[in-house]
Amino acid sequence: MEQHPITKVIRTQTHRTNEMEHASPIFLTSSFCFDNSEDMRAAFADETDDNIYSRFSNPNVKEFVDRVCLLEGAEAGYATASGMSAVFASFMALMKQGDHLLSCSSIFGSTHTVITKFLPRYGIEYSYVRADKPETWEAAIKPNTKMIYLETPTNPGLDIIDLEFVSALAKKHDLILNVDNCFATPVSQRPIDFGADLIVHSATKWIDGQGRVLGGIVVGNKEMINDIYLFCRSTGPALSPFNAWLLSKSLETLDVRMERHASNALKIAEKLKDHQKISWLKYPFLSTHPQYNIAKKQMRDGGGIVCFELKGGMGGGRKFLDALQMLSLTANLGDTRSIASHPASTTHAKLSEEERQAVNITPGLIRISVGLEHPDDVLNDILQALEK
Ligand SMILES: *Cc1c(COP(=O)(O)O)cnc(C)c1O
């Protein structure tokens, strides 16, 4: 009988040495030896998949990639030093001067900077559509559009984009569909099952899950991944073997961790949704979420992020953060420890009020990354901070 991907991930060990270790060792080596010139020639000619140099491949990195491919149902992948290097490599390897990228205004801050400030320098133009207005997307496709890039759920607004709909649109116009699956993780959502070509992850978040290392990965269509690999092996955003070892180990517990993050988040969302200091609250698996039906169709659970709007606006957001006693104020998300953030005064503070509105960052928006503490303790801290 075919094993479940979760089982395969736990049992997959890409390389076992003669010591017959049960857990994977760390291969802290920059290069690999060959017995003779013929083996070396064959490896350089891509006739074997022997490791040559850790900028190209390394057993720990391979194991991490193999495991993410199993979870995502992907043919191939390449792991990078951070989520942003995975995003950037997926753009640079597959687009060229004169191409057009279609993306969505609700998008991770640094991705927004790459798309709007850097890609245009290399002659790659972009347009943004709104996550909540899919009926406008087809009209935004141009003759030179090459790729659709999106996140679902979006960060930090938690909009849900219908992957089946956008895949059909990409197929119809022969476009690459590239999805940042960081918020859902592959145990909740597999965009490839709905027709996506590429998936990028910031492994820094839920995949690591303990806020310890940076990492990224892109998986998907074999030919596209080969182009990304060739770009990366020349430009050097390789994931370190140590970080790959940690991230690969983390994948063994991703499924159980996400189940708990999501059940804690749902409990907290249900308890907070009618609070008098909050004007609205969003969680993908609350029936009041505008795209609840789409979330139910494509996600196993609602993930670990809850966001809400404080009636007190910008000042209320700052006061709320200061009143928290347990939740951490930090830039990360996807940790065992719950984290609160106020995008309008931090990650999106440099944008003008209009720009913030265009990317759906309202003044009182609070994003909670729900950790693995007991949900009552997380809820109680939020409740006492709301009272102040
Ligand atoms: C954090 C994040 C990234 C960037 O990842 P890094 O590992 O910080 O480079 C990309 N997309 C989303 C949705 C993120 O949350």
Q: Has domain 255-387 been given CATH number 3.20.20.70?
A: no
Series of mean pLDDT values for 10-residue runs along the chain (388 residues): 92 90 95 96 93 96 98 98 98 98 91 95 96 93 98 92 98 98 97 98 98 97 98 97 98 98 98 95 97 97 97 92 96 95 86 80 94 98 95
Burial of 135 (0-12, 13-18, 19+ CB in 10 A): exposed
Q: Is the CB of 154 under 6 A from ligand 1?
A: no
Q: What is the largest CA-CA distance in the chain?
A: 73
pTM, to two decimals? 0.96
For 262, the enclosing helix (H) or strand (E) is: helix 241-272
- Residue 216 beta carbon below 6 angstroms from any ligand 1 atom: yes
Query: Reading across the β-sheet that carries 100-104, which strands appear in turn?
Result: 76-80, 216-220, 198-202, 176-180, 145-151, 100-104, 125-129
pLDDT at 355: 78
User: Quick one: pLDDT at residue 218?
Assistant: 98
Query: For residue 110, which atom of ligand 1 is closest to its CA?
Result: 4
Separation of CA 65 and ligand 1 centre (Å):
18
User: So where are the chain's domains?
Assistant: 5-251, 255-387
The reply to whether ligand 1 has any atom less than 6 angstroms from the CB of 83 is yes
Ligand 1 pocket check: which of 90, 104, 188, 204 to mutate, most ligand atoms within 8 Å of Cβ? 204
Task: Select from 3.90.1150.10, 3.40.50.300, 1.10.287.990, 3.40.640.10 the CATH code of 5-251.
Answer: 3.40.640.10
SS3 content of the chain, % helix, strand, coil (to 5): 40, 15, 45
The CA distances from residue 177 to 89, 147, 172, 174, 192, in Å, are 15, 6, 11, 9, 10
